[in-house]
């Protein structure tokens, strides 16, 4: 009997090894700190490239590599200190309203290798960065969801020409008041038919007839889930706008979100952008200056109007309660310069619903003034009975009032902002509005130096562990131990290659390194089972070739059983765990699969190639 390799087995092992080395190779070169420069709207221009290069040269920073990739310019620096100096120099000569400048990490691999392979993403504990734990205000999300029915109901009532009706959101309920039971019942039937997600309670009180409505339990659960998911999407969009590579954004529990930003060295800026809930609203101006002054001095405010203050001057102004366009109807925004005034502006693009509302309103109001309201949620700390209580409130101010000179639709611009506000507002509008306010309840920062120390120590632990195992196997099993060591090295290469593969590029953390070390031990365990079985067969008087075949065939069931049970545990950890637990689980899953391939298939191909077609009486085992 001989143990020979079919050609396909040799080609499979060689192909896996070559592909593994190619995809793992970028990790040898690592990443370089870089500054990413890109226009807020439009392609990268040669003038911007020249401006950036001149700024760095004037700042005395000459050891820089430049890459132009699509609509962005990357300036690569030798270390993080030079990177921060370069960012500051670039920001001094570029307009924050029209140019995005962000810290970045890019592959240091040669161009031919970067074309198809990238290094592994490194987690917060290896690269340094910022960790945020955010609490989502679900009560505010439900209130916002219920409030949107008020304007819808008003339109229905106006369409039915029912007078003397008052509809408002009050104390967590939508309350509609009617003058007759007939009108109330007719509208109740209409509301019930068109909004089955609401629970209605009719009641009579004095001379009026009411309908109270709240979300049903099922609709409330759906709104909570939707608010959490939309916030995650919005946060991801904002992080993408910041130019942060491989962020971690995941749900924790039913009302919290974890955000990890590896490589971020400006946590204050990240915190402001992630937690910001600023948006814009467009409303028609109500009445004239006499009405505004009267309302500001305690006079009556019409039921269909709201009192605001203008930014800067604090002058009062009345605006209509009905909103023309809200921030969630804006699908595109960019900061730029107004051609007429020369000041900063936000160029806005509306979705179909917003464009339709804007068209209908401006068609009927050419020559009338329209105001832009800036709304931002802020956190305040108030003293209540001597105890500090955190509260969230809205800051609403009118930033611009302009006459409607023409019919507006999909595109228009908003002025009255500073350059930085225009840049921030355009970013927030592009990434979408938060469905519910968020509050950062925990913030941790890991310095880049600590991250480098973690990488060094984790790498040393893996190398030392691997070396000890290889040396022990070589001493104990002689040539077969050397083969097991080769299979072990191939296993590590394949794990790194899979983690670096395009489309997966999992984030490597310290627990992930622990998972790699653990699977290394499991791969050795499989070889030990095989080699001990071969020894037993030889002691039982079997021939060398029969012993080799029996060792691999009979140990397979035991190895598969042990690895499958561990794989099930790893899958459960991945599906139910969060953060670092997921990192450990994914490397463990990948390591189990690659170790079975290398320990059972790979080592057998090598053993067959060396000993399978020879007449031997003993084996170096």
Residue with tokens 């320990």: 599
Predicted confidence (pLDDT) at residue 187 exceeds the cutoff of 80: yes
Residue with tokens 């005395």: 60
Residue with tokens 């060591």: 485
pLDDT at position 383: 63
- In this prediction, residues 134-150 reach a mean pLDDT of 82
| Cα–Cα distance measured from residue 96 to residue 88, given in angstroms and rounded to the nearest whole number | 12
* Rg, the chain, Cα only: 33
Residue with tokens 């899953």: 589
Residue with tokens 């009411």: 210
H/E stretch holding 264 reads none
Give the model confidence (pLDDT) of 105-138 as tens digits. Answer: 788 888 888 888 888 877 777 777 788 888 888 8
Closest by alpha carbon to 282, among 335, 361, 342?
361
Closest by alpha carbon to 132, among 440, 434, 438?
440
Backbone region of residue 579 per phi and psi (left: phi > 0; alpha: psi in -120 to 50; beta: other values):
left
- How far does Cα 570 stand from its chain's mean position? 24
Q: What percent of the chain has pLDDT over 70?
A: 88
**Do residues 439 and 257 lie in contact, with contact meaning Cβ atoms separated by under 8 Å?**
no
3-state secondary structure 387-403: EEEEEEEEEEEEEEEEE
pLDDT at position 21: 92
Give the model confidence (pLDDT) of 328-382 as tens digits. Answer: 677 777 777 877 777 787 788 887 878 888 888 888 888 888 888 877 766 556 6
Give the model confidence (pLDDT) of 598-608 as tens digits. Answer: 888 888 888 88
CA distances from 313 to 61, 342, 345, 346, 610 (A): 44, 21, 20, 22, 88
Q: Which residue has the higher pLDDT, 452 or 497?
A: 497
**Do residues 572 and 496 lie in contact, with contact meaning Cβ atoms separated by under 8 Å?**
no
CB atoms within 10 A of CB 30: 14
- With a CB cutoff of 8 Å and minimum separation 6, the contacts of 323 are 151, 281, 282, 283
Strand (E) positions, 338-404? 344-350, 369-384, 387-403
- DSSP β-ladder status, 121-122 and 507-508: parallel
pLDDT confidence bin for 15, thresholds 50/70/90: very high
Task: Look at the alpha carbons of 69, 71, 76, 80 in this order and tell me if their dihedral is positive or negative.
Answer: negative
Give the model confidence (pLDDT) of 81-114 as tens digits. Answer: 888 888 888 888 887 556 777 777 788 888 888 8
**Do residues 316 and 295 lie in contact, with contact meaning Cβ atoms separated by under 8 Å?**
yes
Task: Lowest mean pLDDT of 293-297, 452-456, 509-513, name the range.
Answer: 452-456
Task: State the pTM of this model.
Answer: 0.61
CA distances from 164 to 154, 474, 511 (A): 12, 93, 66
Q: What angle do CA 132, 138, 144 make, to 5 degrees?
A: 120
- How far does Cα 552 stand from its chain's mean position? 46
| Cα–Cα distance measured from residue 239 to residue 132, given in angstroms and rounded to the nearest whole number | 13
Residue 568: exposure state from Cβ atoms within 10 A (0-12, 13-18, ≥19): exposed
Identify the structural domains of the chain with CATH numbers, from first to last: 7-26+447-612 (1.20.1640.10), 32-108 (3.30.70.3400), 139-216 (3.90.1070), 278-416 (3.30.1360)
Mean residue pLDDT across the chain: 81
Task: Look at the alpha carbons of 287, 291, 297, 298 in this order and tell me if their dihedral is positive or negative.
Answer: negative
H/E stretch holding 286 reads none
Give the model confidence (pLDDT) of 394-438 as tens digits. Answer: 778 887 787 887 787 777 777 766 777 677 667 666 666 677 778
Q: What percent of the chain has pLDDT over 90?
A: 2
Written as six digits, the tokens of 30 are 């690592």
Predicted confidence (pLDDT) at residue 78 exceeds the cutoff of 80: yes
Residue 47: exposure state from Cβ atoms within 10 A (0-12, 13-18, ≥19): exposed
| CA atoms within a 13 Å half-sphere pointing along the CA-CB vector of 89 | 20
- DSSP β-ladder status, 256-262 and 330-337: unpaired
- How far does Cα 574 stand from its chain's mean position? 19
- With a CB cutoff of 8 Å and minimum separation 6, the contacts of 77 are 32, 33, 34, 35, 61, 63, 64, 83, 86
- In this prediction, residues 32-44 reach a mean pLDDT of 79
Q: Which residue has the higher pLDDT, 158 or 580?
A: 158
Give the model confidence (pLDDT) of 205-218 as tens digits. Answer: 888 899 899 888 88
Give the model confidence (pLDDT) of 248-298 as tens digits. Answer: 788 888 888 888 887 676 666 677 667 666 677 888 998 888 888 888 888
Euclidean distance between the first and final Cα of the chain, in Å?
19
Q: Strands across the sheet with 166-170, in order?
A: 166-170, 173-178, 208-215, 198-205
| Cα–Cα distance measured from residue 612 to residue 483, given in angstroms and rounded to the nearest whole number | 14
Predicted confidence (pLDDT) at residue 501 exceeds the cutoff of 70: yes
Task: Look at the alpha carbons of 588, 592, 597, 601 in this order and tell me if their dihedral is positive or negative.
Answer: positive
């Amino acid at each position: 009997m001989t143990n020979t390799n079919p050609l396909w087995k040799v080609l499979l092992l060689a192909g896996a090894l070559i592909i593994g080395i190619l995809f793992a190779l970028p990790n040898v070169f690592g990443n370089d700190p870089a500054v990413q420069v890109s226009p807020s709207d439009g392609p990268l221009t040669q003038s911007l490239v020249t401006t950036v290069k001149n700024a760095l040269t004037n700042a005395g920073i000459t050891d820089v590599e430049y890459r132009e990739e699509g609509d962005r310019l990357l300036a690569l620096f030798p270390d993080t200190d030079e990177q921060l100096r370069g960012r500051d120099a670039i920001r001094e000569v570029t307009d924050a309203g029209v140019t995005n400048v962000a810290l970045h990490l890019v592959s240091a691999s040669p161009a031919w290798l970067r074309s198809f392979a990238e290094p592994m993403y490194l987690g917060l504990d290896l690269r340094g960065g910022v960790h945020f734990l955010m609490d989502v205000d679900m009560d505010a999300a439900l209130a916002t969801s219920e409030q949107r029915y008020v304007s819808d109901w008003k339109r229905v009532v106006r369409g039915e020409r029912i007078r003397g009706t008052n509809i408002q959101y009050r104390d967590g309920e939508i309350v509609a008041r009617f003058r007759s039971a007939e009108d109330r019942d007719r509208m109740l039937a209409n509301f019930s038919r068109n909004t089955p997600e609401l629970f209605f309670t009719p009641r009579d009180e004095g001379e009026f007839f009411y309908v109270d409505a709240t979300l049903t339990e099922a609709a409330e659960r759906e709104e909570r889930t939707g608010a959490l998911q939309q916030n995650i999407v919005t946060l991801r969009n904002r992080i993408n706008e910041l130019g942060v590579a491989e962020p971690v954004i995941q749900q924790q529990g039913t009302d919290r979100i974890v955000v990890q930003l590896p490589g971020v060295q400006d946590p204050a800026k990240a915190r402001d952008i992630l937690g910001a809930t600023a948006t814009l609203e467009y409303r028609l101006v109500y009445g004239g200056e006499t009405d505004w002054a009267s309302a500001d001095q305690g006079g009556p405010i019409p039921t269909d109007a709201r009192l605001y203050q203008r930014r800067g001057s604090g002058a009062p102004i009345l605006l209509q309660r009905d909103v023309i366009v809200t921030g969630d109807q804006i699908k595109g925004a960019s900061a730029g310069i107004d051609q007429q005034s020369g000041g900063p502006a936000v160029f806005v693009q509306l979705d179909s619903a917003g464009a339709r509302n804007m068209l209908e309103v401006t068609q009927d109001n050419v020559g009338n003034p329209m105001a832009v309201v800036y709304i931002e949620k802020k956190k305040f700390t108030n003293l209540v009975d001597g105890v500090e209580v955190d509260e969230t409130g809205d800051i609403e101010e009118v930033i611009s009032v302009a006459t409607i000179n023409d019919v507006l639709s999909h595109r228009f611009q908003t002025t009255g902002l500073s350059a930085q506000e225009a840049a921030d507002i355009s970013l927030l509008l592009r990434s979408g509005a938060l469905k519910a306010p968020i509050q950062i309840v925990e913030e941790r920062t890991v310095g880049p130096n600590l991250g480098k120390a973690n990488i060094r120590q984790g790498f040393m632990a893996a190398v030392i562990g691997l070396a000890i195992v290889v040396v022990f196997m070589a001493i104990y099993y002689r040539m077969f131990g050397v083969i097991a060591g080769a299979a072990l090295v191939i296993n590590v290469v394949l794990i790194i290659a899979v983690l670096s593969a395009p489309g997966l590029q999992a984030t490597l953390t310290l627990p992930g390194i622990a998972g790699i070390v653990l699977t290394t031990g499991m791969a050795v365990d499989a070889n030990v089972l095989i080699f001990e079985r071969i020894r037993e067969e030889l002691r039982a008087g079997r021939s060398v070739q029969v012993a080799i075949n029996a060792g691999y065939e009979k140990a397979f069931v035991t190895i598969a059983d042990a690895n499958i049970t561990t794989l099930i545990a790893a899958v459960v950890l991945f599906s139910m765990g969060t953060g670092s637990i997921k990192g450990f689980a994914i490397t463990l899953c990948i390591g189990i699969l690659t170790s079975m391939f290398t320990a059972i298939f790979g080592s057998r191909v090598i053993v067959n190639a060396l000993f399978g077609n020879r007449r031997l009486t003993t084996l170096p085992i």
